[in-house]
Amino acid sequence: MKIEKNYLHLPKVFLDLISSNKEFKTRFEVFAPEVYAEIQSFVTNPNCTCRGKIAEYVRLNSDKCTDFVNLFLLETNTDIDLEKITHEANSAVGVGKVFRIKKSEWPDFSRNMFQQGIRFRGFSVVQVDEENIDVYLL
């Protein structure tokens, strides 16, 4: 199986392989020493902020990361289910959801949405009172 350039869910492929394939994790640490610490942290705590940093690295370096993962899959004869990955990633769509949060929680809220891969085209914020806002994902 070969992953095409600009595959939308490439970060998810990397995160899945890091957590399920020790050889991939080791090779990726050598390939991307910039995120070595994040890779190590992700293995022990998959919900930490390191997840978003790894995903961002893969997105920013998508061409070379696509080449890297394709070479790994070829050399190790590893098979991945892209249909399953695409389906799981698409189920994280946030369109139509509304969240009530405290204004002070906005930085953590927005970072968590990015890390969880919640997708939306835009958002609207409505102030509920002095302390709370509603965030509508569009």
10-residue mean pLDDT series, the chain (138 residues): 88 93 97 96 85 92 96 95 82 75 90 76 87 88
Same domain, 38 and 103: no
Give the type of residue at 43: V
Residue 109 CB contacts under 8 Å (≥ 6 apart), including other chains: 99, 101, 135
Same domain, 75 and 106: no
pLDDT digits (tens, 9 = 90+) for 124-135: 899 999 999 998
Q: DSSP letter at 102? A: E
Q: Is residue 58 part of a domain?
A: yes
pLDDT digits (tens, 9 = 90+) for 110-120: 888 877 777 77
Same domain, 41 and 104: no
The whole-model pTM stands at 0.68
The pLDDT of residue 91 is: 64
The pLDDT of residue 6 is: 85
The pLDDT of residue 65 is: 97
Domain membership of residue 125 as a residue range: 98-137
Same domain, 107 and 55: no
Backbone angles phi, psi at 34, to 5 degrees: -60, -30
